[in-house]
Amino acid sequence: MRVTVSLLALLAAASPMAAQADAGFAALVSPPRFEINGKPGSTVRQVFELSNRSAAPARFRVRTADFRLGPDYSVSFQDELAPGSCRPWVAIERSLVALPGGGNIRYRFEVTVPADAPAGECRFGILIEGDEPSVTQAPQLQLPVVGRIGIIVYVKVGDAQPKIEVFGPQVVPLNGIRVPALRVHNSGNAHARLSGFLTGTDAKGKKYDVIPSDLPILPGEERLVYLTPSTQEIEHPQADFPMTVQGTLEWGDQSVELNETFK
């Protein structure tokens, strides 16, 4: 079974994640993402907090899943083991959690990396679902709905590292405005997220802070990285092109200097 969730926050959020499909499912998890290291032959243990935000008791099913990222960063989960899946390394605390209204639990899981595991990255999701489907009401229609939250886990094994090449520049539409963007390719064996300290100057001489999108670039993938202008007054202003962007792009302990004109 495959399930697709079109939520960028599923991968990029740094704050607790809540989901409420209806009155029957109101859950909060923290953190929404794990990025951890694991040596071959070691066991890595982690904990997330699961809360029931409803006043009524609730039961949640917990399971692992493989996932894929779509071109728009939508997340497609699947129950079947993907080729090369590391989910057999994963043990979860329990498959069913019952919480009173307003209750919470610290939920444990662990990843045991085989001694002969090659350098690379173990990636999987942990799905938290309502135990019983609820019924959503629509005109002349009643549909069973199961609430769901997905936590994404990345385990870097051994000396795995991303290997990033940056191409560009180009200008693309994003949320109704035109923004600078770079095409980034990852030929390494671990994912990367770009950050950095960038400034921009547009055609009218106006200065901006420029924020790179920090969505994941998985091994073997090529993605657009948006460079979103921002000012103290306006979070997402429309810059006048051509626009020059300068500064340092960073990922992990690596970096590249950027000095590009976007037309």
Say how far apart CA 33 and CA 110 lie, in whole Å. Answer: 14
pLDDT at 5 over 90: no
Domain at 2-157, CATH homologous superfamily? Immunoglobulins (2.60.40.10)
Q: What is the pLDDT of residues 6-65, one digit of tens each?
A: 333 343 334 455 554 444 578 999 999 999 999 999 999 999 999 999 999 999 999 999
CB 215 within 8 A of CB 202: no
Domain ranges of the chain: 2-157, 164-262
Q: What value does the mean pLDDT take over residues 218-237?
A: 90
pLDDT at 256 over 70: yes
Query: What's the pLDDT at 248?
Result: 97
Say how far apart CA 43 and CA 31 lie, in whole Å. Answer: 20
Residue 236: C-alpha distances to residues 10, 203, 228, 258 (Å)? 22, 17, 7, 21
Average pLDDT, rounded, for the chain: 88
pTM of this structure? 0.85
Query: What's the pLDDT at 17?
Result: 58
Domain 164-262 in the same topology as domain 2-157: yes
Q: What value does the mean pLDDT take over residues 195-210?
A: 95
Please check whether the domain covering 164-262 is classified as CATH 2.10.25: no
10 Å Cβ neighbour count for 113?
20
pLDDT at 259 over 70: yes
Q: What is the pLDDT of residues 87-98, one digit of tens each?
A: 999 999 999 999
Q: 72 falls in which pLDDT band (50, 70, 90)? A: confident
Q: Lowest mean pLDDT of 13-22, 103-112, 224-233, name the range.
A: 13-22
Q: 134 falls in which pLDDT band (50, 70, 90)? A: low
Query: What's the pLDDT at 147?
Result: 77
pLDDT at 182 over 70: yes
Query: What's the pLDDT at 233?
Result: 80
Element (H, E) at 10: helix 9-12
Across 27-53, b (16+ Cβ under 10 Å) vs e yields: bbbebbbbeeebeeeeebebebebbbb
Q: What value does the mean pLDDT take over residues 120-131?
A: 95
Structure tokens at 44: 């890595």
Q: 131 falls in which pLDDT band (50, 70, 90)? A: confident
Query: What's the pLDDT at 196?
Result: 93
pLDDT: which is higher, 100 or 144: 100
